[in-house]
Amino acid sequence: MFAGHIDEIGVMVTHVDEEGYLSFDTIGGWDHQVFVGQRVVLLGRSGQVTGVVGKKAIHLMEREERDKVSKVEDLWIDIGAISRAEAEARIRIGDPGVLAGGVIEFPNGRLVSRCIDNRIGAFVVLEALRQLAEDRPRAAVTAVATTREEIASTGGGARTSASHLQPDVAIVIDVTHATDYPGIEKRKHGDYRLGGGPAISRGASVSEIVFEMLVETAETEKIPYTIEAVSRDTHTDAEAIFNAHRGVATGLVSIPNRYMHSPNEMVAMEDLDRTARLLAAFARKLGPETSFVPE
């Protein structure tokens, strides 16, 4: 089972006031500073509703207010309504939304977009299956696009998928923090670079056998890679999968990603190709004789 989650962080409408302004809360882990001045797209009663995140203009702030960190309770969403009735004709409490943002191609093969975490992982899974369709493996390989990874402590779609499929082995494909920009302490956060290839995780939620097989495959295929140490939870779907039903031998392969959980995340296109090739080559190594039982 190859798994990439397709949910993204977002917002949820929590209140509509008399003037038609919307209060909101976060879905998933946000730096609240990112919201200021952004456009949002809400999933309303009859389709998408565009809004802007409002905040008091700096010209109207007292000196002490200017130094305060913005929080969601200080902000609101303006959809152009002039009354609660007008807003509620388009929006209900609990409607979700995302920050508006498109895809941009940068020089040097960089791709910039929101929700790279982790729809890019789902793309890589499908690319790996495309390669396997051209040169079929002995093993049966299933691609899974999971949801609720960003919010579900119980595992969301990853756990239900693993319980239903009962795979012998699963590889989670996600993103990890690139640390190749100013101000990052590599001794604390590791050294993961755009263009440096996939990061193969090693830790409590990862099968050591699967880890070694992934490393061996990368070296055989001459795919550059790094090793990421994860001494506790990986904060990915790996936790939901490795202990599903009778237990699943699980690996985690991550794509270096700059500016995670922002509207402008960035990855290197070459890392996507390398990760897909790694997954396909890994699948081709598997056969009836492959054992994931530690000895």
* Secondary structure of 81-98 as H, E, C letters: CCCHHHHHCCCCCCCEEE
- Residues 27 and 12: their CA atoms lie apart, in Å, by 7
Query: Hey, what are 57's tokens?
Result: 């203009």
User: In which order are the strands placed within the sheet that holds 143-146?
Assistant: 143-146, 2-5, 169-177, 249-257, 199-203, 226-230
pLDDT of residue 15: 98
Task: For strands 2-5 and 143-146, give the pairing.
Answer: parallel
As a CATH number, domain 10-99 is 2.40.30.40
Nearest Cα residue to 95 out of 148, 146, 41, 54: 41
Reported pTM: 0.92
Q: Locate CATH 2.40.30.40 in the chain.
A: 10-99
Q: Locate CATH 3.40.630.10 in the chain.
A: 102-284
One-letter amino acid at 87 equals A
Instruction: Answer for the pair 292, 246: CB distance below 8 angstroms, yes or no.
Output: no
pLDDT of residue 183: 94
3-state secondary structure of 68: coil
Nearest Cα residue to 44 out of 5, 80, 74: 80
Across the chain, which has 295 residues, the per-10-residue mean pLDDT values are: 96 97 96 94 94 90 83 95 97 96 95 96 97 95 94 82 95 97 94 97 95 98 97 91 92 97 96 98 96 90
The CATH classification of domain 102-284, taken from the options 3.40.140.10, 3.40.50.2000, 3.20.10.10, 3.40.630.10: 3.40.630.10
pLDDT of residue 63: 81
User: What residues are annotated to the active site?
Assistant: 149
Alpha carbon 41 to its chain centroid, in Å, reads: 19
pLDDT of residue 153: 67
Q: What b-and-e string marks burial along 16-54, b requiring 16 or more CB atoms within 10 Å of the CB?
A: beeebbbbbebbeebeeebbeebebbbebeeeebebebb
pLDDT of residue 64: 79
State phi, psi for 289 to the nearest 5 degrees.
-80, -10
220-to-21, 140, 216 alpha-carbon distances in Å: 58, 22, 6
- Residues 6 and 33: their CA atoms lie apart, in Å, by 24
